[in-house]
Amino acid sequence: MIARRWHGIVPKAKADPYRKLMLDIAIPDYRSVPGNRGAWCLHREEGEVMHFEMLTFWDDLAVIEAFAGTPVDKAKYYDFDADFLIEMEPHVLHFEVSETP
C-alpha cells in the first residue's frame, strides 16, 4: 500500500470555504477511484495561514497514476485551488506503508 501526502497553504480568512471544498469535492473524488483505500483532510493553523494536508492511501503506484497522471509525484489540482492557495506546490510525497499481519 502507498500513502500519498499533498500539502498546501491557504490564508486563514479563506480556510473555512477551502476546507468545505476539499471535503465536498476532493475527498469524494479520491475515494471514487478503484484502489483508493481512504482519504483524509488534515489542517492546522499557523499564524495567519492554514496548512492543509491531504493524506490518501492507495493499492499501488499504478492506481495513483490512474488518478493523478504522470509523473505520479506531480500534484493534482482542482479548478478552485488557484483561488485559495498561496503557492501551488508542484510535487507530493509518497510513502510505502508497512502493515502488520
Q: What is the mean pLDDT of residues 88-101?
A: 91
Q: How far apart are CA 43 and CA 15, in angstroms?
A: 9
Q: How far apart are CA 32 and CA 41, in angstroms?
A: 15
Residue that has been written with the C-alpha cell 469535492 in this structure = 25
Residue 100 has pLDDT above 90, yes or no: no
Domain residue limits, the chain:
2-93
pLDDT digits (tens, 9 = 90+) for 58-74: 999 999 999 999 999 99
2-93 CATH: 3.30.70.100
Omega before 17 within 30 of 0, i.e. cis: no
pTM over 0.75: yes
